[in-house]
A = this chain, B = another copy of it.
Amino acid sequence: MQTVIIGSGNVAYHLAKAFVQNGISLAQIFGRNEKELDKISEELNIPKSTTNLVEADLYIICVSDGSIGAVSKLITKRDSLVAHTSGSLPKEILVGEYRKSSFYPLQTFSKTKNLDYKKIPFFIETENEEDQKILTDLASKISDNVMKSTHEKRKYIHLTAVFACNFVNHLFARAKEISDAQEIPFDYFLPLINETVQKINEIDPKSAQTGPAVRNDQRVLELHEQLLKDESLEIYKTMNHSIKKMYQLL
């Protein structure tokens, strides 16, 4: 099976790397950003192009949501399977006369950070059972966690991921802003952060909750509000309100 990856960002790089590491050869990596394509092509030894998309059996589109539609129009081979990797778009976003699918890896990707691909859940949606098998077999060479999914379910998976990953990271960024302003090294908080996450690998997060809001410690909450302003204060109030609601303290 001839497979092509389209894109040169974080997802494209890691998918390509995962394929190559697992003995799946890629016919081409195709994209606009020549510099990034060069890097991936050299590191993983994959033919690249910014202009001529090769004929293939499978195209995996790893570009930003807003570009998927336009990029998908470049694929003209009718007898091909095309997948996008977006968490929030239906497979029908793909524009062309080929079989459409979604191939969604649930992970946060940065080029500079190595990943254990085996643990990444893949959610797959296709037009028919045969394509489902093709993509499931392919993903199973990379990961131990391959599942069928609908667009409806994928939307909620993506939404949950925004809370559990994007927002969590932003809390770390705001936390660091607070400690930086007091010249407190953020490294002090890493054992606490690591333990917080270790915990929910073992305990339900609802029963692991600690802190002033769940203790309904009004004195500390008011003290903290005086130390904060702007967005951090808004986050502080919103999160505490939500904690109190969850534990029926309001």
Contact = CB atoms under 8 A, between A and B. Distances in A.
B211 A189 contact: no
Given A166-B209, A234-B238, A234-B242, A192 B159 contact: no
B106 A192 contact: yes
A128 interface: no
Interface string A116-160: 100111000000000000000000000001000000010111111
Contacts of A112: 203
Contact of A113 (B66, B203, B204, B228): B203
Contacts of A172: 163-164, 168, 200, 205
Contacts of A52: none
A2 interface: no
B173 A206 contact: yes
Nearest to A87: B220
Interface string A75-101: 000000000000010000000000000
A73 interface: no
A242 B170 contact: yes
Nearest to A195: B108
A110 interface: yes
A241 interface: yes
15 contacts: A107-B195, A108-B210, A109-B210, A110-B203, A113-B195, A156-B178, A156-B179, A160-B179, A163-B171, A165-B189, A166-B214, A167-B239, A170-B243, A174-B242, A176-B204
By Cβ-Cβ distance, the 3 closest A-B pairs, closest first, are A166-B211, A172-B205, A163-B175
